[in-house]
């Protein structure tokens, strides 16, 4: 199993190549096949905190990475018009207040409401208040939880350089066909236009929505989730920056979906996500272009997609990475994270010689669990809403949801409790912020909160709130910190057209 072939470049391909080359070095023979004639979908301009771990594994200095990708810091996502038109809430990457081992901070805050403490839940979250104040800094003991807003195309180019320095061989060419072994159904080689064959023992399918290997050649099947996540189209456009970049992403709901705004150092990423059943492409395009700020730097690029997952992510000697394995819309910025999870899982389970069916089964079970847990979190945003102002929102409010999500929602509504299962991506604070932000208010809370006297509860709540406020006041402006720490050399280049989600 020494020869590993990656089909496709882009973010998924070069993340896989750089991680494999840096981790395994001469233990493998690594080849990546891509064509400059084929565009890529630049997934994940907006990311989540685990990307820090991936970069650390690759020993990438943060400032170098941020300069190369014109990145800004991200403390969370501002959700506008989701619960109802005109309402907003913030999903931060941090923790709120201070948890007790038996119960989360929300139980103490809920008890405080019954004792005259009316400070918003938001006031106890450092990352949330820092985001709204436009401030950022690295704090001792990693007290500030953050991710990045970055240029995904530049990130892929940055990783390509690392991968090639570490021994990955790049082959230019379009894949004309996938050669299978008749008796086993394994892939033996990729055949390029012109007849060149690229042989391998293990193949990673990073060909995006086309899924040339895992689906077109191996026919593993696809489970459609659009009955839960009905958006099926997006349009992206890049514009020049007209204001200081804020340390958060905006997700702005409209009558048939939502729009994103992602500020980078050198430009802003904009896009609209919508359900084509309720909104025509030309109307969506006009809505997007009429709301963007700054000079347009790219032609609008349209993307059609089907939300769902391949029935197998690993089949025989082929593993899907990224969009070839399925698609979950970018509402919570999980695209790059799913690529990262697949790559690190591949490295941990890489066979020495023959492929174990037990490995395949375990890989597929774990990755499906990742997809389903993120899927449920995304559905929550559409289901828990007071909006009934359009056919789209009425469909979302009335749809049946997975039992796994229904259990989480009703448990929180009845008791204020959230339980994180296994290595579930979204922690308790994420679920609490989004559920309360979408309008789910617990009817009860944990009795441990009543253990405190009225004076003790006041001291706890006031102290936590004051500490957050004082810390935020001492932070420098986000833009100033970037200028000192990781300013990109190029501020406003005209970018080629790219779909960015």
State how far the Cα of 378 lies from the Cα of 328, in Å rounded to an integer: 8
Whether 364 shows a pLDDT value over 60: the answer reads yes
Structure token digits, residue 485: 């720490």
State how far the Cα of 41 lies from the Cα of 34, in Å rounded to an integer: 14
Residue-wise pLDDT for 283-299, tens only, equals: 999 999 999 999 999 99
Whether 361 shows a pLDDT value over 80: the answer reads yes
Distances (CA, A) of 71 to 38, 65, 117, 133, 495: 25, 8, 39, 19, 15
pLDDT of residue 306: 96
Q: What is the pTM of this model?
A: 0.95
Residue-wise pLDDT for 315-347, tens only, equals: 999 999 999 999 999 999 999 999 999 999 999
pLDDT of residue 41: 63
pLDDT of residue 491: 52
Residue-wise pLDDT for 124-158, tens only, equals: 999 999 999 999 999 998 899 999 999 999 999 99
Distances (CA, A) of 378 to 148, 331, 402, 487: 20, 7, 12, 33
Distant-in-sequence, close-in-space partners of 408: CB < 8 Å, separation ≥ 6? 376, 380, 418, 431
pLDDT of residue 42: 56
Question: What's phi and psi for 390, nearest 5 deg?
Answer: -155, 160
pLDDT of residue 47: 96
pLDDT band of 44, cuts 50, 70, 90: low
Whether 224 shows a pLDDT value over 50: the answer reads yes
Residues of the chain with pLDDT > 70, as a percent, come to: 97
Give the residue carrying structure tokens 């499906």: 368
Domains and CATH numbers, the chain: 3-73+150-224+308-372 (3.50.50.60)
Whether 26 shows a pLDDT value over 90: the answer reads yes
Q: Is 256 exposed, middle or buried (0-12, 13-18, 19+ CB in 10 A)?
A: buried
Which are the catalytic amino acids? 74
pLDDT of residue 166: 97
């Amino acid at each position: 199993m020494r020869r590993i072939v990656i089909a496709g470049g882009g973010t998924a391909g070069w993340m896989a190549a750089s991680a494999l080359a840096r981790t395994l070095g001469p233990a493998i023979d690594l080849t990546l096949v891509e064509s400059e004639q084929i565009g890529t979908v630049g997934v994940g301009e907006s990311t989540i905190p685990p990307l820090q771990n991936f970069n650390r594994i690759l020993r990438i200095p943060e400032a170098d990475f941020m300069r190369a990708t014109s990145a800004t810091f991200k403390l969370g996502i501002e959700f506008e018009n989701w619960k109802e038109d005109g309402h907003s809430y913030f999903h931060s990457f941090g923790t709120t207040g201070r948890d007790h081992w038996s119960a989360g901070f929300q139980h103490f805050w809920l008890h405080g409401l019954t004792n005259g403490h009316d400070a918003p839940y938001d006031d106890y979250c450092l990352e949330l208040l820092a985001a709204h104040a436009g401030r950022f800094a690295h704090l001792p003991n990693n007290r500030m939880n953050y991710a990045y807003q970055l240029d995904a195309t530049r990130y892929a180019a940055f990783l390509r350089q690392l991968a090639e320095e570490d021994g990955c061989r790049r082959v230019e060419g379009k894949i004309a066909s996938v050669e299978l072994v008749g008796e086993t159904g394994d892939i033996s080689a990729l055949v390029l236009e012109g007849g060149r064959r690229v042989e391998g023992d293990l193949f990673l399918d990073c060909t995006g929505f086309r899924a040339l290997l895992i689906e077109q050649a191996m026919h593993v099947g696809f489970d459609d989730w659009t009955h839960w996540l009905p958006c099926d189209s997006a349009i992206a456009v890049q514009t020049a920056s007209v204001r200081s970049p804020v340390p958060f992403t905006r997700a702005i709901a409209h009558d048939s979906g939502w729009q994103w705004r992602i500020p980078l150092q050198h430009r802003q990423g904009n896009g609209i996500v919508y359900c084509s059943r309720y909104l025509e492409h030309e109307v969506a395009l006009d809505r997007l272009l009429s709301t963007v700020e700054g000079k347009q730097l790219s032609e609008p690029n349209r993307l059609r997609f089907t939300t769902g997952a391949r029935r197998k992510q690993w089949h025989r000697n082929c593993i899907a990475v990224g969009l070839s394995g399925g698609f979950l819309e970018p509402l919570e910025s999980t695209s790059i994270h799913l690529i990262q999870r697949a790559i690190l899982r591949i490295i941990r389970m890489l066979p020495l010689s023959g492929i174990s069916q037990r490995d395949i089964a375990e890989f597929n079970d774990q990755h499906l669990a990742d997809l389903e847990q993120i899927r449920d979190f995304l559905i929550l945003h559409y289901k828990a809403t007071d909006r009934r102002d359009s056919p789209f929102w009425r469909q979302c409010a009335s749809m049946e949801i997975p039992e796994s999500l229904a259990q989480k929602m009703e448990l929180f509504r009845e008791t204020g409790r959230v339980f994180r299962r296994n290595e579930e991506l979204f922690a308790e604070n994420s679920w609490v912020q989004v559920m309360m932000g979408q309008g789910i208010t617990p009817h009860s809370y944990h009795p441990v909160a009543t253990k405190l006297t009225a004076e003790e509860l006041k001291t706890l709540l006031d102290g936590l709130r004051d500490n957050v406020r004082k810390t935020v006041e001492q932070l420098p402006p986000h833009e100033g910190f970037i200028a000192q720490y990781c300013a990109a050399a190029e501020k406003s280049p005209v970018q080629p057209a790219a779909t960015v989600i």
